[in-house]
Amino acid sequence: MQNLVLASSSKYRGQILEKLQLTFHCCGSDVDETPFPGEAPADLALRLATAKAQAVAKTYPQHLIIGSDQVADCDGGILGKPGNRERALRQLQLQAGKETTFYTGLCLLDSNTGNLKTDLDICRVHFRDLGDEQLKRYLDREQPYQCAGSFKSEGYGIVLFDKIAGEDPNALVGLPLIKLIGLLHQFGVHIP
């Protein structure tokens, strides 16, 4: 089997990939995540996943590179990583009582041949209609300032939701394993 590299420095994506019990390396990619004017969230997620895999391929020329990126869309606006409590509170206020769609782009690139395959996971999160004090208590407890949408669904963030509708619970954390297994199979990596 070819060596695998996860084009990410996210500890959350690394933890998800460990579920497959494969040997892999992690390598962050310094890709500008700024959307193009008018770029649709799904297109942005796929473009960034591919760009991350291609950026890491320069360092790992004989590997299968996994690129992934997630874009959150609420009311037609992209929600990035808030970076601090104030912006996280604004994001959660915006999402309260609404549905946010998470597009997780996935790219698998054979850096030796340049062959690549992509896929896209779509997950819809239905937020409870919570007030400011509840949202502040959540932020004080979890501090999800480096997470798109300002929550960690794998942790205490589950208290924010009425419903999650998607094909793969791992996708909401940032790496759709079900789709990744399918892409790996196309490259001759069979799990189990």
40 and 77 in contact (C-beta within 8 Å)?
no
- Which residue among 30, 32, 43, 69 is the active-site one? 69
Q: How far is CA 155 from the centre of its chain?
A: 15
68 and 106 in contact (C-beta within 8 Å)?
yes
69 is catalytic: yes
What's the 3-state SS for the chain?
A: CCEEEECCCCHHHHHHHHCCCCCEEECCCCCCCCCCCCCCHHHHHHHHHHHHHHHHHCCCCCEEEEEEEEEEEECCEEECCCCCHHHHHHHHHHHCCCEEEEEEEEEEEECCCCCEEEEEEEEEEEECCCCHHHHHHHHHHHCCCCCCCCCCCCCHHHHHEEEEECCCCCHHHCCCHHHHHHHHHHCCCCCC
Residues marked active site are found at 69
